[in-house]
Amino acid sequence: MKNIFSILLFLIVSVFFISCGDKPANVAPNKNTSTSPKPNAPLPISSFEVVRKYKHDGDAFTEGLFFYNGFLYESTGLDGKSDLRKVDIESGKVVQKVDLPKTSFGEGISMVNGKIYQLTWREGVCRVFDAETFKQIKEFKYPGDGWGMTTDGKNLIMTDSTHVIRFIDPETFETVKTLPVFRENGAPLMQINELEWIKGELWANIWHSEEPEILGKPNYIVRIDPNNGKILGWVNLDGISPDDVKADPENTLNGIAYDEKNDRIFVTGKKWKNLYEIKLK
């Protein structure tokens, strides 16, 4: 009896587990949708056409550029040759200039509330000038390199050779926000250089963008969302000024200026003989 009872109990338990393992007919199978992430959609790449060409000082090692009230304002680099200048765009002639100390290497510039702010490369000094007289008002110290600069109308926005963009209070020169920028493949976008604020976007030159470890594409400008650091697209300016680039590999594309009133975009480079008004295609 004991053996018969054990056999019956075994059969009952087996049937129970088999029935529990069956999947109800009205339940859909579980679909795993997270096995492979969706690839990033390709970002738009704009080409260009030259609307007009202007003369540019072929000795100017352009590090910063902006347009204001009909004139270009430019910062030039190199030790012993750095300056801040106001340029007549039609003729390319310098109409106002102040030389920096021989030990200074000029970098990005921008203007807020009638004052021009000019960075230096490794000196860690930002000089502040009266926009009318070019008389120096004061200076600020900051850590790290100084590269590019622009403004959103309230803050100064600067780069320092890394993938991190800093928003700066112009009254104290303290960082109020940092904005890291990453490429489509997740790698940091290094060597972000000269900046310009264009229609609510940050446009930036990338120093030696042709280098494989940086971007592998010559003369590219990146368009960045200033709210989150996401790349919105690229502007391919390869071939825009071939003679200038061939003359010296350091004569890189560097300098973006925007005439908001007339919706004009200007670009140039270090020791380029021309400034170009461009239109995106």
pLDDT digits (tens, 9 = 90+) for 9-49: 444 434 333 344 443 333 333 333 333 334 467 899 999 99
Contact 82, 105 (CB under 8 A): yes
Closest by alpha carbon to 170, among 120, 100, 118? 118
Neighbours of 65 (CB within 10 A): 30
Q: What angle do CA 193, 268, 192 make, to 5 degrees?
A: 10
Paired strand residues for 224: 202, 231
Helices (H) and strands (E) in the chain, counts: 2, 21
What residue segments make up the domains of the chain, in order of their start?
45-280
How high is the pLDDT of residue 244?
A: 78
For residue 5, pLDDT beyond 50: no
Q: Rounded to an integer, what distance in angstroms lies between the CA atom of residue 49 and that of residue 36?
A: 40
45-280: CATH topology is Neuraminidase (2.120.10)
Q: Rounded to an integer, what distance in angstroms lies between the CA atom of residue 218 and that of residue 151?
A: 26
Q: What is the mean pLDDT of residues 135-164?
A: 97
Lowest-pLDDT choice from 23-37, 68-82, 127-141, 254-268:
23-37
| Model confidence pLDDT, tens digit, residues 68-98 | 999 999 999 999 999 999 999 999 999 999 9
| Model confidence pLDDT, tens digit, residues 174-184 | 999 999 999 99
Contact 53, 90 (CB under 8 A): no
Q: Rounded to an integer, what distance in angstroms lies between the CA atom of residue 110 and that of residue 102?
A: 22
pLDDT bucket at 138, cuts 50 / 70 / 90: very high
Cβ burial 95-116 (10 Å sphere, 16+ → b, else e)? eeebebeeebbbbbbbbbeeeb
Mean pLDDT (the chain, rounded): 88
How high is the pLDDT of residue 94?
A: 98
Q: What is the mean pLDDT of residues 238-262?
A: 89
Q: Rounded to an integer, what distance in angstroms lies between the CA atom of residue 271 and that of residue 251?
A: 6
Closest by alpha carbon to 229, among 133, 126, 157? 157
pLDDT bucket at 249, cuts 50 / 70 / 90: confident
Q: Rounded to an integer, what distance in angstroms lies between the CA atom of residue 260 and that of residue 68?
A: 9
How high is the pLDDT of residue 198?
A: 98
Q: Rounded to an integer, what distance in angstroms lies between the CA atom of residue 204 and that of residue 2?
A: 87
For residue 254, pLDDT beyond 90: yes
Give every strand in the sheet of 125-130, ordered side by side.
Answer: 106-112, 115-120, 125-130, 136-141
How high is the pLDDT of residue 245?
A: 72
How high is the pLDDT of residue 43?
A: 93
- Global pTM? 0.84
Contact 143, 149 (CB under 8 A): no
User: In the structure encoding, which two tokens stand for residue 86, read together?
Assistant: 């106001």
